[in-house]
Amino acid sequence: MKGPQISGEAAAWACSGSTGQASGGARSVLMATLALAALLLTAATLARLAFAVAFAPPGTDWHGLLAAFVLGARFDLRLVLLSVLPLWVLSRLPGLGRHLAPPHARTLWWAFWMSIALLWAVAWVFDAGHYAYLHQRLSAMLISLAGDPREALGMVWQSYPVIWIVLGILLWLLICHSAFALVWPRVNAPGLAGWRLLVTEIGVAVLASFAVHGQLSQYPLRWSDATELADRFGRQLALNPLQNLYDTWSFRAQMPDAESMRADADEIRRFVGLPPLRPNEPVSFLRSVPPRAGAAPMNVVVVLLESFAGHKTGTLGSPLGATPSFDALAAEGLLFTRMMSAHGHTARGVFATLTGIPDVSIKSTASRNPLATQQQSIVNEFRQHAKLYFIGGSTSWANVRGVLKASIDGIDIYEEGRLKSPSEDVWGVSDKNLLLEANAVFRAQTRPFFAIVQTSGNHRPYNIPNEDRAAFRAPTRTQAELSQHGFISAQEYEAFAYLDWCIGRFMAQARKEPYFANTLFAFVGDHGIIGPTGPHMPPSWHDLAITQGHTPFLIYAPKVVKPRRVDHWAQQVDVLPTLASIAGIGHRNTTLGRDLLDPRFDETRVAFTFQFMGPGQLGLLIGEHMLVEGQPQSVHDIEAADPKVNLLASAPGSTEARAVQQNWGRFAKAYANAALYLQTSNPRLGGFPSEGAASALFGKAQSN
């Protein structure tokens, strides 16, 4: 009989001594765990094959999907190992483990086995339904779809073969039960023991750790790796539904639908130059700008400067002499002195610049949200241009690769591993070498190009490459001077000055190149830095944390752009619309950025801020005032000696403060709502309309 046989095995195992207990228990735990893992991995592979058969578009090149299956197997293996990990760990704990190791706790092992099998089966089923409905793998959007459970269940019952699905799940569970019954008596068969077993366990643990990490890189396997695949369907096929659900889970509460956006839509449409929505008109912020007649294609180079705080630059008043190169360019270029990043975080700044959407994610960043990858970006409107992206480290950082690959057609990424220069530290290739390598790539281009160069060296650990020590010398400053003007240490000051020196080296080389005369160079910080600013800035820059987002924005093209300083507020989301306008290309803008040179918007130049002074806090810079959303709402004079004073409370008769509240009191919340809505509702557009159609669209928007 089966029961006595197991009891006898258990008795023999218990009498074999402590060493035998340890060896037998470890061996049986390992075998039982690997057996379940093998079953799940096999089933996951078959499920992916079935998914491909069911959803592959007509004409799919199945040979081209091989890479998707390989990448998908890596995702599956990670999730399989994480699925079986809990009971393996518990079974190896001293004391508790001997009660859980086979042949003990058969019921517990069976329940765990069947629970994991059921979880995976439900994930596969929901994933298929989710994709059939939305053409997206299983995600946290499922929660919003199930907002009305009764309606959701009714839709499911009427749309899908529920009975057959249930029968299929039951069949799968029967297979798993049979597999368990087959495996269980064999997990205690004689085998490895002693040091051989120990070595085997260590080897399995090392291989499993590598499989969970997923690749030979400091960055683990991420959903954004699927965006590297050439086949559009393959990018979806490679994903694992449980992994995708996990990746989107923290964003589940920030996916407003069109109806929740509608109440604020007209205020935002007015802000971007559009008429109110007509009844039943879909929520949209699309406007088309016609090309400038006779405009020849120009190259565009956008340099994102790490932590390039405005108050530390000489052109904005710092006396410490850290930025002679940037200051010289600013004297000859178009300088926006009040450019603001909406948040003091690099990934948010990159996302805002690329998409025109400020990143108002609460718990993470938009670039980490798989549902926010495919964005309509003005970069794509430079249709004749090669698209290039340079970073000294890896675009796997913050999953920026996913946004780049999914949003920008044919983008060519130069990063650590592809760049020829050696890595200097955790941030990869030095900024000087990154910029000089970018220059070499620009020189080799045979057609117009749009390039983004993301620097990163102005960041802890503030390394200066040994190869540049002889050529680069930062001015010597006392610690008192540094502290007074916002530098925390001599090392930080030196790193800031080194970034400026790198700009100078890059531009000196670029001036020698044929492409230089026909290129728009744009320099903007990814964000500022919070802290003291020095007497050359008003106290509000520190007290209201304005310095966290403040960075200069410089456009340099001597033959195209005349020297000028513009002192109104500007935002990172305005960078691409402004460059597209100067370049004269026809383009479509679907998000929140506006042309900084368009006089239609001069009376409404504001800067939105997010979490400058607390979690989730919204703010708005309007002229010489800052409106802060709070309990209660407050308005501050940013030129005052004590900017923390709420003018609405201390000076209730202040007509300026009341006017700010009356005109802009609702705007920050509406703008944040629009940013959150667009994060998952800014789909890629199709082909660009003809010049005549674009002009007609623009004229219609103007007349309305």
Secondary structure letter of residue 445 according to DSSP: -
Note the residue count of the chain: 704
Tokens for 431, please give them. 């900024």
374, 366 Cβ separation under 8 angstroms: no
189 falls in which pLDDT band (50, 70, 90)?
low
Mean pLDDT, residues 135-149 taken together? 73
Q: Is 255 left (phi over 0), alpha (psi -120 to 50) or beta?
A: beta
632, 648 Cβ separation under 8 angstroms: yes
Q: Which pLDDT score is estimated for 19? A: 43
CA angle 387, 393, 395 (to 5 degrees): 50
Mean pLDDT, residues 464-471 taken together? 96
Q: Where are the beta strands (DSSP E) in 255-341?
A: 287-289, 299-305, 334-340
Model confidence over 625-659: pLDDT tens digits? 999 998 889 999 999 999 999 999 886 667 899 99
Place of tokens 């990858």: 373
250 falls in which pLDDT band (50, 70, 90)?
confident
Give Cα 324 to chain centroid, integer Å.
33
Residue, of 251 and 487, whose pLDDT is higher: 487
Q: Beta strand 423-425 with 428-429: parallel, antiparallel or unpaired? A: antiparallel
For the four alpha carbons of 75, 76, 79 and 84, in that order, the dihedral sign comes to negative
What is d(CA 254, CA 506) in angstroms, rounded to the nearest whole number? 41
Q: Which residues contact 496 (CB under 8 A, 6 or more apart)?
A: 307, 312, 322, 323, 458, 487
Residue, of 299 and 187, whose pLDDT is higher: 299
Would you call 663 helix, strand, or coil by DSSP? helix
Tokens for 611, please give them. 């979490």
Residue, of 396 and 498, whose pLDDT is higher: 498
Q: Beta strand 587-589 with 287-289: parallel, antiparallel or unpaired? A: antiparallel
Model confidence over 59-83: pLDDT tens digits? 888 988 999 999 999 999 999 999 9
Secondary structure letter of residue 467 according to DSSP: G
Long-range contacts of 514-518 (CB under 8 A, 24+ apart): 514/443, 515/299, 515/442, 515/443, 515/445, 517/559, 518/296, 518/298, 518/299
Secondary structure letter of residue 313 according to DSSP: S
597, 637 Cβ separation under 8 angstroms: no
Q: Where in the chain is the domain with CATH 3.40.720.10?
A: 287-623+666-703
What is d(CA 576, CA 378) in angstroms, rounded to the nearest whole number? 6
pLDDT value at 698 more than 60: no
Give which of 704, 308, 232 is closest to 486, Cα–Cα.
Answer: 308
Lowest mean pLDDT among 451-460, 528-537, 683-692: 683-692
Residue, of 143 and 154, whose pLDDT is higher: 154
Rounded alpha-carbon distances, angstroms, from residue 543 to 378, 480, 649: 35, 20, 18
Classify burial at 74, counting beta carbons within 10 Å of its beta carbon; exposed 0-12, middle 13-18, buried 19 or more: middle
Model confidence over 1-17: pLDDT tens digits? 344 444 443 443 334 33
243, 79 Cβ separation under 8 angstroms: yes
696 falls in which pLDDT band (50, 70, 90)?
very low
Share of the chain above pLDDT 90, in %: 68
Q: Which residues of 175-196 are buried (b: 16+ CB within 10 A; e: fewer)?
A: ebeebbeebbeebbeebbeeee
Would you call 334 helix, strand, or coil by DSSP? strand
Tokens for 224, please give them. 């954004």
Model confidence over 484-506: pLDDT tens digits? 999 999 999 999 999 999 999 99
Q: Which pLDDT score is estimated for 352? A: 97
Q: Which residues contact 78 (CB under 8 A, 6 or more apart)?
A: 211, 212, 214, 221, 240, 243
What is d(CA 171, CA 161) in angstroms, rounded to the nearest whole number? 15
Q: Which pLDDT score is estimated for 669? A: 96
Amino acid making up residue 316: L
Print the SS3 string covering 628-644: ECCCCCEEEECCCCCCC
Classify burial at 403, counting beta carbons within 10 Å of its beta carbon; exposed 0-12, middle 13-18, buried 19 or more: buried
Residue, of 113 and 315, whose pLDDT is higher: 315
Q: Which pLDDT score is estimated for 296? A: 93
Q: Which pLDDT score is estimated for 531? A: 83
Amino acid making up residue 659: A
Instruction: Give CA torsion, residues 473, 474, 475, 480, to 10 deg.
Output: -140
Mean pLDDT, residues 672-697 taken together? 74
Would you call 440 helix, strand, or coil by DSSP? helix
Task: Please measure the distance between the N-terminal and C-terminal CA atoms of the chain and give it in whole angstroms.
Answer: 86
Q: Is 306 left (phi over 0), alpha (psi -120 to 50) or beta?
A: beta
Model confidence over 314-372: pLDDT tens digits? 999 999 999 999 999 999 999 999 999 999 899 999 999 999 999 999 878 999 888 89
Tokens for 428, please give them. 């990869």
571, 339 Cβ separation under 8 angstroms: yes
Q: Which pLDDT score is estimated for 159? A: 80
Q: Which CATH class is domain 287-623+666-703?
A: alpha beta
